[in-house]
């Protein structure tokens, strides 16, 4: 059996309208299991603790919560330009900066009654201290662009992501590449579909997501990170695990 994780990225009051629309889309497609990637202080606006209605909505969904940064805002770096433009929040940070951001993010989501044991860094870009800090704060796993990693065992499995870019030319290019990437990633045991809230502003992307999700649900079973990391499941049903010791993302 092959699996897929459907991820809604950048879930925050900042994207309330897009979030509501994305929920309607996946409900219409019959998807009952998905993961919410929460950013508690997105771009330093609309902190989540000030929006009770939004918090209640997220809680009512009873879906998996993942932490997706604190503000999602980072420095513009030439080395990251292919992947992001100023949203690699943890790229190049030292230990103290990494710890402070994650602590603040955890404090916010815990305060509003949300719990997260898995982390996906904005733009999937980490740093050399990220995993150490995550483990010290009680996280079970972290996901990068090409793999998912269990922090306690230091093992990872290759798991590609289907995602659109939302930057002008790259957005146009990703619209044409996604169908080819879907075919290329067909053989992987775990496939991730990353729907960003900004995608919902583009009807072309909405249409493609509907097509992709419809095809994926015919050949894969939806799974959460929690199920993937549950006792015995992370190592037994899936092939291709490798040691990640010494790896830096």
For the segment 135-164, the average pLDDT, to the nearest whole number, is 95
How many C-beta atoms surround the C-beta of residue 119 within 10 A? 27
Tell me, what's the pLDDT at 154? 92
Domains in the chain, CATH or no CATH each: 3-243 (3.20.20.370)
Instruction: Tally the C-alpha atoms within 13 A of residue 190's C-alpha that lie toward its C-beta.
Output: 26
Cβ neighbours of residue 125 closer than 8 Å, sequence gap 6 or more: 74, 80, 83, 84, 88, 90, 91, 249
CB-based burial label for 225 (10 Å; 0-12, 13-18, 19+): buried
Q: How buried is 232 (Cβ within 10 angstroms: 0-12 exposed, 13-18 middle, 19+ buried)? A: exposed
**End-to-end CA, the chain:** 29
Provide mean pLDDT across the span 172-184: 91
Cβ(39)–Cβ(68) under 8 Å?
Answer: yes
CA distance 138 to 118: 9
Burial class from Cβ neighbours inside 10 Å (0-12, 13-18, 19+) for residue 58 reads buried
pLDDT tens sequence across 53-72: 999 999 999 999 999 999 99
Cβ-based neighbours of 213, under 8 Å, separated by 6 or more: 6, 26, 29, 31, 193
Q: Is the pLDDT of residue 104 over 60?
A: yes
Q: Is the pLDDT of residue 234 over 60?
A: no
Q: Which pLDDT belongs to residue 95? A: 98
Q: Which of 95, 44, 93, 41 is nearest to 68 (CA)?
A: 41
Distance CA(16)–CA(12), nearest Å, equals: 7
Whether residue 210 has pLDDT greater than 50 = yes
pLDDT at 47: 96
pLDDT tops 60 at residue 206: yes
CA distances from 62 to 65, 129, 218 (A): 9, 31, 24
| pLDDT-above-90 percentage for the chain | 77
User: DSSP H helical segments within the chain, as ranges?
Assistant: 16-28, 52-61, 95-111, 130-136, 168-184, 203-219, 225-229
Q: Is 155 in a helix, a strand, or coil?
A: strand
Distance, CA of 126 to CA of 216 (rounded, Å): 28
In whole angstroms, how large is the CA radius of gyration of the chain?
Answer: 17
């Amino acid at each position: 059996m092959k699996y897929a994780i459907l991820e809604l990225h950048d879930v925050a009051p900042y994207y309330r309208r897009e979030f509501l629309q994305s929920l309607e889309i996946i409900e219409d497609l019959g998807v009952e299991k998905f993961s919410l990637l929460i950013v508690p202080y997105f771009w330093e606006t609309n902190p989540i603790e000030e929006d009770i209605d939004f918090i209640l909505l997220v809680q009512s969904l009873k879906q998996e919560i993942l932490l997706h940064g604190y503000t999602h805002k980072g420095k513009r770096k030439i080395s990251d330009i292919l992947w992001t433009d100023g949203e690699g929040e943890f790229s190049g940070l030292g230990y103290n900066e990494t710890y402070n951001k994650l602590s603040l993010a955890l404090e916010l989501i815990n305060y509003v009654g949300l719990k997260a044991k898995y982390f996906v860094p904005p733009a999937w870009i980490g740093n050399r201290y990220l995993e150490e800090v995550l483990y010290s704060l009680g996280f079970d796993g972290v996901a990068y662009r090409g793999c998912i990693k269990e922090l306690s065992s230091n093992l990872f499995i290759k798991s590609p992501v289907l995602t659109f870019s939302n930057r002008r030319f790259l957005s146009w290019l990703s619209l044409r590449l996604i169908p080819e990437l879907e075919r290329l990633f067909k053989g992987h045991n775990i496939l991730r579909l990353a729907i960003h809230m900004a995608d919902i502003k583009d009807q072309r992307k909405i249409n493609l997501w509907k097509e992709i999700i419809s095809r994926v649900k015919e050949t894969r079973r939806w799974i959460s990170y929690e199920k993937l990391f549950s006792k015995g499941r992370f190592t037994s049903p899936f092939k291709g695990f490798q040691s990640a010791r010494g790896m830096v993302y």
